[in-house]
Structure 1
Amino acid sequence: MLTLHHHHLSSLPRVIPRVLLPTIATKRLLSYKPHIITTPIITKSQSQSQKRSLHLAPPFLLDSYVPRYLQLSEIDASKKRSQAYAHLAKCNLCPRKCGVNRYEGTGWCLIGEKVKVNVIAPHFGEEPCIQGHHGSGSVFFSMCNLRCVFCQNHDISHQRNGMDLTPEELGDWYIKLQEVGNVHNINLITPEHVVPQVALSILHARSQGLRVPIIYNTSSYDSLESLSLLDGLIDIYLPDFKVWEPSTSKRLLKAEDYAVTARESIKAMHAQVGDLCFTGDGIAKSGVLLRHLVMPGLEEEGKEIMRWLAENVSRDLFVNIMEQYRPAAYVGKVKARRRGNVNGDGEREKGEVMEGEEAKKEERRYAEINRAVNAKEVESVRKAAERAGLWRFCDPPRHDGFNI
């Protein structure tokens, strides 16, 4: 048997099984030729910690994992409950900072004391390392603190459809997803505006026997106070960094401060949970998985996002550069204009709404993004990410199993 002395470790690279790595990292590792020293066989009586310190497994591979909320002390859990109730009484947990008492009214998000949930079910539309073989236990919250004009879930995020649930009722659903659905995780989708209720629901569910990781699936329009409340409760942050320029976010997201907020939020998320890590079955358990949806004509903003991530967050960040943009929500809709006569003041009088061929000639809303993204735009963002030093991408694996 070949083993390594501890004093040789600092000069040797980590040897990572090729089958578990994306192509770029594999090529880098294959270029290494470590000097192996023959030493006596390590006996079975020697400690497991000594074997683990050899770093023969990737730093992103976990032997086992215990969710963070299960490691929280009762004192810290009690503090978080108190903080959550206080925030509901004067809501300031999202960048909108409405300051409303959500026991009595609503702010920008139009959601009060209870959450409104549109869908709760095992979901197979996420990244392979998230959905696995049994699905991700997805909870789609109604409404949002953004108003993205291209939102592909606009029927959920822009409308108050669904069932009202208390935090305790929501936590009970997590248990059902775990026990009946046998899901790999609980995936909270668009939860930025219901963080106090989410915190309370996780604390309730842990007392009822929840034991799977929690995913916070967000637009990144989160406040630092919100993420502080979630610290210790969330295992995987799944943020989306949408656009870079304030003018773009003001027009398309209805939030001029989006990029500044997203940069702060993503750094705070990574500081809490680090880079994405997996157990041997290929299922993600902890860390950050960042998404960027490439949009038509906005590839330069995508490139800037990739450079910033590599330089300010981590070059080991797991990134999903997505190409499935399509016109949705308000994009491509005909601007509402009416047929009518021009009056003496030069103003058009109200008439009936134009339809058919006449309407087709009318100007379309958000015409600059009223098309699918092309392969060249996606490839340019990907190459920019690689040039910046990013290498862990959500690509189809070149082997049986998940790409970790």
Structure 2
Amino acid sequence: MEICGICPRQCKVDRKVEKGFCGVYDTPKVAKAFLHKWEEPCISGTNGSGTVFFSGCNLKCVFCQNYNISQEYVGKEVSIEKLSNIYLKLQQMGAHNINLVNPTHYAVQIKKSLEISSNLKIPVIYNTNAYETIDGLKMVEGLVDVYLPDFKYIEDSTASKYSGAKNYFEAASESIKEMYRQVGGPVFDENGIITRGLIIRHLILPGFSGESMKVLDYIKNNLPDDIYISLMSQYTPCYRAENYPEINRGITRREYDKVLNHFFKLGFENGYIQERDSASCEYIPQFDLEGLDG
């Protein structure tokens, strides 16, 4: 953290005294910790996923649904010990897993918090935008059971325009290979809850079904066949999307079906699809510091 290079931004700032590109210092900042019922069925199950939302982000997505925490940095700073206690409290509440949302810029602190969580018996999910470094991922190897990357883009121009990350594909594609090396394909318990493995999410953007198909092509040609893919139709124009007319709408049924048909054409057999009514603001959590007291 004194010369921060945990993500591909390579800020090299001392985050003890200066904020990185991610917008936060080195003390973990959390906006919410609760039982999330709206993740993939193998993650939320019946009880919910013990989800911890971290503030800050190493991407600047103009359409971010969680912009309150990713770009406006709403949240509360907590100690490493407090973070560990949050995991244990969620476990006591019946969570199927600990779901670390947007963890990249806190990989060092998360590693420490998991190392002292000796009583944590449920799987740990690393829920990331995939804009990672190999070194950062190796730091949490053996502590993370499930990787849940959102593989956003394949074209540098798209990544640069909408997320301010021209080298996104280069970083994300290599990171996802490293995630698979660590945990392999998905493994489920007797109730269908994932206990280990990789699931790749992909959020389809309006007008970019062609790029989504290229993402699927890349996965098919470069990753093992036991990969699970979650094709998300939940895009809702938020934050600064109104400044980009081409993405200031939801995706159409035709756009989603085009990508889904390509999924099947490529021979994929494992994954999840979303109903289009998931593209609603009612599914965006209220970042009200729930679960951070006590």
Q: TM-score, normalised by structure 1?
A: 0.66
| 1:222 equivalent among 132, 144, 151 | 132
Q: CA shift at 1:211, angstroms?
A: 0.7
Deviations 1:202-251 (A, max 9, x none): 11112xx1111000000000011101101111000000011211011100
Question: Are 2:77 and 1:199 equivalent residues in the alignment?
Answer: no
The reply to whether residue 388 of structure 1 matches residue 263 of structure 2 is no
Taking the TM superposition and a 5 Å limit, the aligned residue runs for 1:87-102 are 88-102=1-15
CA distance in structure 2 between the aligned counterparts of 1:308 and 1:391, rounded to whole angstroms? 16
Higher RCO (CA 8 Å, separation ≥ 6 residues): 2
Alignment of 1:267-346 (within 5 A): 267-332=177-242
Q: Cα offset for 1:395?
A: 4.5
Distance of 2:85 and 2:116 partners within structure 1: 8
Q: CA deviation at 1:394?
A: 1.2
Of 242, 245, 266, the residue aligned with 1:367 is 245
- Is 2:74 the counterpart of 1:164? no
Q: Which residue of 1 aligns with 2:148?
A: 238
1:176 lines up with 2:89 in the alignment: yes
Aligned position for 1:136: 49
Report the 3-state secondary structure (helix = DSSP H, G, I; strand = E; otherwise coil) of the residue aligned with 2:241: coil
- Alignment partners' CA distance in 1, 2:215 and 2:251: 17
- Asked if the contact 2:126/2:147 (under 8 Å) is kept, the reply is yes
What are the superposed Cα offsets for residues 288-327 of structure 1, whole Å, 9 maximum, x if unpaired?
1111111111011100100111111122211111111121
C-alpha separation between the residues in 2 aligned to 1:249 and 1:375? 24
Deviations 1:79-131 (A, max 9, x none): xxxxxxxxx22211100111122223221112222111000111111011101
Equivalent pair of 2:111/2:139 in contact (CA under 8 Å): yes
| In the alignment, structure 1 residue 265 sits paired with structure 2 residue 175 | yes
Task: Give the greater-gyration-radius structure (CA).
Answer: 1
SS in 1 for 2:120: coil
Contact 1:309–1:315 (CA under 8 A) maintained in structure 2: no
| Aligned partners of 2:49 and 2:97 also within 8 Å | yes
Give the structure 1 partner of residue 281 of structure 2. Answer: none
Which letter maps to 2:135?
A: E
Per-residue Cα deviation, 1:306-363 (whole angstroms, up to 9, x for no partner): 011111112221111111112111011xxxxxxxxxxxxxxxxxxxxxxxxxxxxxxx
Report if the CA contact (8 A) 2:232-2:273 is conserved.
no
Report the identity percentage.
39
Q: CA RMSD in A?
A: 1.1
CA contact (8 A) 1:315 1:389 kept: no
User: Which of 244, 252, 256 matches 1:378?
Assistant: 256
Mapped to 1, the partners of 2:143 and 2:68 lie a distance apart of: 29
Q: CA deviation at 1:384?
A: 1.6
Q: State the aligned residue count.
A: 274
Could you tell me how far apart the structure 2 residues matched to 1:367 and 1:317 are? 34
* Gapped regions of structure 1 (runs ≥ 5): 1-87, 333-364, 397-404
AA aligned to 1:253 is: S
What stretches of structure 1 move > 4 A for 4+ residues in a row? Answer: none
Higher deviation after alignment, 382-391 or 323-332: 382-391
- Residue 62 of structure 2 aligns with an amino acid whose one-letter code is V
Contact 1:185 1:213 in 2 (8 A): yes
Structure 1 counterpart SS, 2:165:
coil
Q: Cα–Cα, structure 1 residues 143 and 303, in superposed 2: closer, same or farther, change >3 Å?
A: same
Paired residue type of 1:389: G
- 1:34 corresponds in structure 2 to none
